[in-house]
Structure 1
Amino acid sequence: MWVFVVGILLFSFFLKTKTSSQASYPPGPRSLPIIGNILSVWSDLKKYKYHHRVWQSWFQVYGNILGLKFGLLKIVIVSGRELIKEVSTREVFDSRPDGFLYTMRSFGKKLGIVFSDGSTWFSTRRVLLKYLKHFGYGTRSMECLITEECRDLIKLRMSDAGTPVLVNQMFHVPITNILWRVVAGKRYSLNDERLIRLCELVTRLFRLSNMSGGVLTIMPFLRYVVPDLIGYNEMKSVHRKLHGFILETIKEHRDSIDINNPRDVIDAFLIEMMDNKTTAITEEELQIVCLDMLEAGMETVTNTAIFMLLHIVRNDEVQKLLQAEIDNVIGLSRSPSLDDRPNMVYTEAMLLETLRISSVASVGIPHMAREDALLGQYLIPKGTYVLLAIHDLHNSSDWEKPELFRPERFIRDGNLVQDERILAFGLGRRRCIGEGLAKSELFMFVTHLLQKFTLKIPQGDPMPSTEPIDGITLSARPFRLVFEPRFK
């Protein structure tokens, strides 16, 4: 018996040794004891300014699978569509990181749908999608909500037409309203000070770290040593305010709920919690689902919309072609509709080009290996964070003159070309559930605005910079526009 056990152990050791000799951790800059690649990243950030550019420079040296170490944390970054597709579609990479940055917003647990995984994620996501669809998400009724926000934004811009407007937060409230109407049944005025402040908090939160987890994930103990220096106190303060807003919203629903007539997603979850206490989600998880909807529904879409305006105003010919198509297909007597999209090839191409060149989610949302796994010729150990180099994919030399904003690259023989290299919303089971809504919002906002206005740079202002502000997502630097009415 003992001989058999020893034999099995020796055979297992042989297999492990053989596997280790055949597959090693991916290459990267020299890793120092204890701190790993922290100094390498810090040094090259001073040179390249942005994390995604650091990774891009290292791909050229070490290949498309880049292996880094930060203390005990392993991070692998993959580049190229095929590798990104492989990571996105393999179940072994379906998990989400459990680092401090990702769980501090959710009571130290994996909750919600963005940073959770496993059976809990699958169940919560399924139920959320059921309730969203029940209250109109993904149906024609969403167009009415989008149109209402577009019309209110047009009125606001008409009220200050001809004067310079700082536009970076212009879409925050309208875009939040669209999804929040379905989730919480409430719409806010575009001038609502509280919601404006909450949106500003979300923006600030997204600039305090990066998708690798930052210092708080690499060295979480520093929150006890230098909490202000690493942004911990500010993050904690922002999360407390966001949770306060959500808790207040849930309480308002609980106090006025009619169990026979749910009004929105929050009502539906609360009723399920009453009816099925053993299987329904907890109140903590409901808070994080709402937080996911509030943050994800606002931040990436608004950043993309601002980059869209930035590139339009930087390219006069693009703006003229967009307005010509709007005038030809829609005209001036009616408002734009989603039914117009198939007939507006240039506008759709412009939206694809905006998604490509801005790539606001520069490395996507991190994956994590749930078990040891082979990727290419390398071993990705269990627990390794895997980032997807989306910005590099969208702005690499595979594209002709990738630095230029050219919607024409998505048009061939007068038809729209859906290039498979555009992965702004991910792939596989983790593909963003808000893709359809985001594209609809971008289309409706740009057509409504350019039907009524010509965008101009204020006299004396510099040309808006295409250099982004780094963070969890990329955002545009502050700039002003003049909305000049096209017809009086």
Structure 2
Amino acid sequence: MELLLWLWSQLRSCGNNLPALGIALTVLALLLDFLKRRKPWSRYPPGPSSLPFLGTMLQIDFHNPHISFTQLSKKHGDVFSLQNCWSNLIVVNGFKAVKEALIQKSEDFADRPYFPIHEHLGYGENSAGVVLARYGNAWKEQRRFALSTLRNFGMGKKSLEQRVTEEAGFLCSAISSEKGRPFDPHFLINKAVSNVIGSLIYGQRFDYDNKKFQRMLQMFEQALDEEAGFLPQAKEHVGSSFNDNNLRLVTVDLFTGGTETTSTTLRWALLYMLLHPDIQCKVHEEIDKVIGRDRSPQMEDQANMPYTSAVIHEIQRYGDIAPVGLPHMTYRDTELQGFFIPKGMTVITNLSSVLKDETVWEKPHQFYPEHFLDADGQFVKREAFLPFSAGRRVCLGEQLARTELFLFFTSLLQHFTIRLPEGQARPREDGHFATTLAPHPYQIQAVPR
């Protein structure tokens, strides 16, 4: 305080002395920046050096943040701190630390930071649906409602399985119509997966050439505003989280969450089958042995298809669809790996570092389905397999996604051999990051079996 009073007196005495005034203002700005950037907590996680005003922003490649986080963890440890200008945040890396945060201390890390985009869209701070909502009674109410609604509409039941199987048939028919010509599977897969969650929301599926359906998918993919009126207006109940804004946002959460990640995973699946024809051949053999060519795949087949199950899990692990997930926020003061994390701190869980943890996986940087097979070729679960995150904020559509991935993947490989079109260069195996990690555009040739 005495230093600030001294600086203020110097500013007043500078008068018309512009050079002196400039120096005093610079010193004052640097001092204020230092005070904003200093961390008043003991046992706070270490981190890279912070620059005035910018913090540690220059240390992060925002096109590949998960890679930057993993590299920084090798120097600063699995729990380290960053500073985005004057905002502090914590990054958690590796299976052991992420497990402690999301599973062992799930409520401590269950909150979400405020996302200004919702106020921009007219929703306000307390109306954020399920995915981005602050942790509390309203969130619990909306999550229970979303889960019960999905179950009522068939999630986990034979009726939903039949919808997915039916949609897989439409997808295979659309691919057959390409008659072996090279094509990009992106939009066909997106339409098929969207139709599953869409059939729950709207009560019907849409033809792939339906213009309104195509426009709606474009709007979601481009992250445009939600003014589409997906559901009728609902009566708002005073003192309850059931209001118009939350109803719309829950619908958006279900539709986007039920489309983007599963669709992206299936695009990775076809790419990996194209790049690894030996693995594709083994999947073909298991499909022919267990299912054959005359009937559609069923979820009960999964128990008898360990290799195909291992391949699907490895696609999710190696594809790294949601490398950093969505940011968490501490609900109260807590500790993590011996460090103090104050209430209200933004926390990034680097899920990529879990799915590729070198202390857990035998070949973390290779596509290796044997990660999920024992010595006898039987499927094994891996504790570090967390593509859906974990804890209080685990993906509420995990069961639906698992059903879709198995039925769509086995249906496609039951009917087609996926090849690289003649004369085309080998597709890129790295992805591009924009909330999810998606493959770069590529073309395939789907040859009927």
TM above 0.5, one fold?
yes
How do residues 30-179 of structure 1 correspond to structure 2 at under 5 angstroms?
30-41=49-60, 44=61, 50-89=64-103, 90=105, 91-101=107-117, 104=120, 107-110=123-126, 111-116=128-133, 117-179=135-197
The number of equivalent residue pairs is: 405
- Identity over aligned pairs, percent: 31
How do residues 57-456 of structure 1 correspond to structure 2 at under 5 angstroms?
57-89=71-103, 90=105, 91-101=107-117, 104=120, 107-110=123-126, 111-116=128-133, 117-205=135-223, 238-239=224-225, 243-245=226-228, 247=229, 249-251=230-232, 270=234, 273=235, 279=240, 281-398=242-359, 399-412=361-374, 413-456=376-419
1:480 partner SS: coil
Gaps of 5+ in 1: 1-19, 206-237, 255-269
Distance apart, 1:277 and its partner CA: 5.7
Structure 2 equivalent of residue 5 of structure 1? none
- What is the alpha-carbon distance in structure 2 between the residues aligned to residue 164 and residue 337 of structure 1? 29
- What is the alpha-carbon distance in structure 2 between the residues aligned to residue 21 and residue 107 of structure 1? 34
CA-based RMSD of the aligned residues comes to 1.9
Say if 2:129 and 2:142, in contact at 8 Å, map to a contact too: yes
Runs of 4+ in structure 1 off by over 3 angstroms are 20-23, 101-106, 276-280
- What is the alpha-carbon distance in structure 2 between the residues aligned to residue 22 and residue 385 of structure 1? 15
- What is the alpha-carbon distance in structure 2 between the residues aligned to residue 188 and residue 87 of structure 1? 41
2:445 partner SS: strand
1:464 partner SS: coil
State the Cα deviation string for residues 232-265 of structure 1 (Å, max 9, x = none): xxxxxx11xxx222x1x323xx6xxxxxxxxxxx
Structure 2 equivalent of residue 13 of structure 1? none
Q: Paired residue for 1:457, among 420, 424, 431? A: 420
- What is the alpha-carbon distance in structure 1 between the residues aligned to residue 289 and residue 122 of structure 2? 49
2:125 partner SS: coil
- What is the alpha-carbon distance in structure 2 between the residues aligned to residue 304 and residue 59 of structure 1? 27
1:74 partner SS: strand
Gaps of 5+ in 2: 1-38
How do residues 464-475 of structure 1 correspond to structure 2 at under 5 angstroms?
464-475=427-438
Structure 2 equivalent of residue 482 of structure 1? 445
Q: TM-score, normalised by structure 2?
A: 0.86
**What letter matches 1:407 in structure 2?**
P
**What letter matches 1:109 in structure 2?**
E
- What is the alpha-carbon distance in structure 1 between the residues aligned to residue 97 and residue 385 of structure 2? 14
Say if 1:23 and 1:374, in contact at 8 Å, map to a contact too: no
- What is the alpha-carbon distance in structure 1 between the residues aligned to residue 415 and residue 46 of structure 2? 53
- What is the alpha-carbon distance in structure 2 between the residues aligned to residue 320 and residue 55 of structure 1? 36
**What letter matches 1:29 in structure 2?**
P
Give the 3 Å change call, closer, same or farther, for CA 24–138 of structure 1 in structure 2.
same
1:365 partner SS: coil
Higher helix share: 1
State the Cα deviation string for residues 96-128 of structure 1 (Å, max 9, x = none): 111324654562324211011211000111122
Distance apart, 1:22 and its partner CA: 8.4
Give the 3 Å change call, closer, same or farther, for CA 313–50 of structure 1 in structure 2.
same
Q: TM-score, normalised by structure 1?
A: 0.79
Distance apart, 1:310 and its partner CA: 0.7
- What is the alpha-carbon distance in structure 1 between the residues aligned to residue 244 and residue 117 of structure 2? 21
Please say which structure displays the higher CA radius of gyration: 2
Distance apart, 1:21 and its partner CA: 9.1
